[in-house]
Amino acid sequence: MSVREAGTSAPVRRRRDLALLSLGVFAGIVAALLPVFSVIAPGSWTAGALVAAAAVLASGLAVRFSRLPALAATVVELIVGVLLLTALFGRGTAALGVIPTPATIASVPTLYAAASEEIRLGVAPVEPATGLAFVLVAAIAGLAIVLDHVVLTARMPLLGGVGLVAVSLIPTIAIPAAVDVPAVLVLAATVLFLLRVDVRSRTRSTAPPRSRSTRAQGASATALGIAAAAVVVTLVAVPLLPQPGLRFASGTGAGFGTTINPTLELGNDLRQPREIDVLTVTTTGPSAPYLRAVTLSQFDGAVWQPDTGDSVTVPGDGPVFDPVPVDGDIALADWTTNVTVGELDSPWLPVPYPASTVTGLEGEWLGLPSNRTIVSRSGSSRNQDYEAEAIVPRPTLEQIRSRPVGGDELGDAVRELPADVPAIIGETARSVTADAQSPYDALVALQSWFRSSQFRYSLDAPVDAGFDGAGMDAVAQFLQERTGYCVHFASAFAVMARTLDMPSRIVVGYLPGTRSGSVEQTGTTEFTVTSSQLHAWPEVYFRGIGWVPFEPTNSLGVPTTFASGTTTGAPGATTAPDQQDAATPGAAATDAPQLGDQDGPGAAATGSGAAAAQTPAGVLLTLGGVVLLLLLAAPATLAARRRRSRARLVRAGDAVAAWAEIRAYAVDLGIPAPDAESPRAFAARLVEVHGVDADDIGLVRDALEHAIYAEDDARSGDATVLAAAVDRVRARLRSGTSAVRRALAVVLPRSLTMREQSAAVEVRDRVG
């Protein structure tokens, strides 16, 4: 024992450890909140949540400093939390501004309902109003109370760390993004800090003086090893692992369905060999349209993010969106498309562009006017049968050539590029479009260049060449290798357009399907769309016309072209990805590419980020179930780990560990073992009341007293005899209890809430 340690009294050390644990819990809550800001925008609720957590933890610490029962700390924390919530959200109906009244309590369901509506209608990151702010602050206060009890009362910091990690993972699952390295490191540091403080206090209170230093050094080395392994796995190994797609079981038993991942990380799923039918389409247009699900405009150089914005409720009948604003000289076509969805389980609804009216949907759906897509916060596209009416602009070649790109109504996201754009991207874009006389001509030149023999479509070449995805580095390497799949073509086109100061974005949706029959009554044609036809393509905004799709992917889809208004007699004749003309060579939607040329079965990138980006109830319930199972299993797991640790010490002759094992086992079986009771009194009670053999318990007791008062260490003269005596005492205690009590001892071990040293050992620690 060091001089400094020896000069510090046990009460002072105890208070210091409690304060450090409380501080660690608060730091853990802050670290777990960092990823939440990607789903919930920070604001005044953040300050309220941190104040609530700090107040709860401080009140609990004050109770513990007063050496009141642990239950009193939890009760006081609940009272403080309620008073603080009342002061923040219920002052108008509270007595003295902080004491809740019946009217205050009656307002809670209203606040909760308002929060539910905000979550249902909001788009991440949500700006919390009063209802959602109340729920968030209450949740953080409740988390602080639970963690305080788990870490400081039950002394289970590892279980507290599991809870913190679960909180931090929810927003990560909800919105796919790169690993937030600072948040991961801060959270890991707080969990390790809690473990270190807990281990230090236990080592100091249970180990003989001469062995404390050695155990403390071992614990520190172990903590450092855990920290290093955690950082390596999180930051190095995990990103290198293949990311499996999330499959949804088919309700018909015919296979697996698919969903839509808007993050453009499609490589693994594109290489899946299985193909299934996802929907059928009938249309009054000249051919089956491309069906769009989600658009992506924000690009940080590594990831394209799905567009968000204000939403409107999709009515049962009537228009969802206003018609696309176009110049008066642009011709319009009114097409109706019927879609029947089968094995597609997605929160995004495939619709033709630019749909204005969508009818026949079941459940609650929201429309995003900024990109004219439709999404559900809790429902699914599976088994939906709906009709979409689209009023499509049909400019002539002369009209689109005369229009500039961009417009005042667009935000900055569709033009932004990171500062470190590889030189090959801009130089190549300027080289390919050097002879273009208009923005449209430049885009057609890019489209033709990508679809020329200089490029090759392949699902395997990107992997062989060492690149995959849609980030800036992948685009640069794609322009060198000139082989890839739709994600590479679409992302390269969109980025190159932005280097030419053209607003662009990417669309994820489906290629036109394969002709599967005719509907005689209406004269329309039916098309079947498979999972292999999920696709990504770019769009560029033309003033007075709107977003115009292009098709740069080599050997797939239909390249965008517009007919001259002076030669065809049919203004606006076009073959664009959303506006195909079956009469144009190569444009027939019935001539679907062969499997080897398509974007692969499951090209929807059936990743967990797809559905979770809208926080569907199913994903949250699944995550909650996993967390609940972990929490239920944690006590038994931790107790088993402690038993194994004590057993190793007992086999080595450690009398302190032997006595701790008997006390812990007795407490698990419902036999009280108060700290104030001396070892001799406890041993006598086990003999008289519970039938334990006096020689066995006497042997362990004598070894303990020798370890406490002798000048040597805590080792018994005969480790084998000591271990055998402990086993016999345990067996006798076990035989004297019911089967139910024995089961509870395994599932809910009470010994986790007790200090492992006896009163005598504590006395020895104070005087040592």
Which stretches of 149-264 are DSSP H helices?
A: 157-174, 181-206, 209-232, 238-240
Summarised one tens digit per residue, pLDDT across range 335-382 is 888 999 987 888 889 999 888 889 888 888 888 888 889 988 777 888
Identity of the amino acid at 614: Q
Nearest C-alpha neighbor of 543 from the set 405, 409, 400: 405
CA distance 102 to 118: 25
Summarised one tens digit per residue, pLDDT across range 658-693 is 888 999 898 888 888 887 788 899 899 999 988 999
3-class secondary structure, 539: strand
Summarised one tens digit per residue, pLDDT across range 189-201 is 777 777 777 777 6
User: Does residue 514 have a pLDDT over 70?
Assistant: yes
User: Does residue 64 have a pLDDT over 70?
Assistant: yes
User: Does residue 589 have a pLDDT over 50?
Assistant: no
Nearest C-alpha neighbor of 271 from the set 491, 555, 531: 531
Mean pLDDT of 219-229: 50
End-to-end CA separation in angstroms for the chain:
8
CA distance 136 to 115: 9
Lowest mean pLDDT among 139-143, 447-451, 510-514, 575-579: 575-579
Lowest mean pLDDT among 76-90, 232-246, 428-442, 665-679: 232-246
Identity of the amino acid at 16: R
pLDDT at site 465: 54
Summarised one tens digit per residue, pLDDT across range 69-93 is 777 888 888 898 888 888 888 888 8
| Residue 697 near residue 686 (C-beta atoms within 8 A) | yes
Cis ω on the peptide bond leading into residue 393 (within 30° of 0)?
no
Summarised one tens digit per residue, pLDDT across range 688-719 is 988 999 998 999 898 888 887 765 554 545 78
Give the percent of the chain with pLDDT over 90. 14
Cross-strand bridge partners of residue 299: 304
Identity of the amino acid at 218: G
Two tokens, residue 81: 């939390």
User: Does residue 422 have a pLDDT over 60?
Assistant: yes
pLDDT at site 577: 52
Lowest mean pLDDT among 320-334, 585-599, 629-643: 585-599
| Residue 294 near residue 367 (C-beta atoms within 8 A) | no
pLDDT at site 543: 92
Two tokens, residue 176: 């796919």
H or E segment and range at residue 634:
helix 617-651
Mean pLDDT of 184-213: 65
Nearest C-alpha neighbor of 757 from the set 217, 151, 5, 208: 208
CA distance 215 to 207: 8
Mean pLDDT of 572-596: 38
CA distance 488 to 457: 10
CA distance 90 to 134: 10
Rounded to 10°, the helix 10-33/130-148 angle is: 150
Please report which confidence band the pLDDT of residue 178 belongs to, taking 50, 70 and 90 as the band edges. low
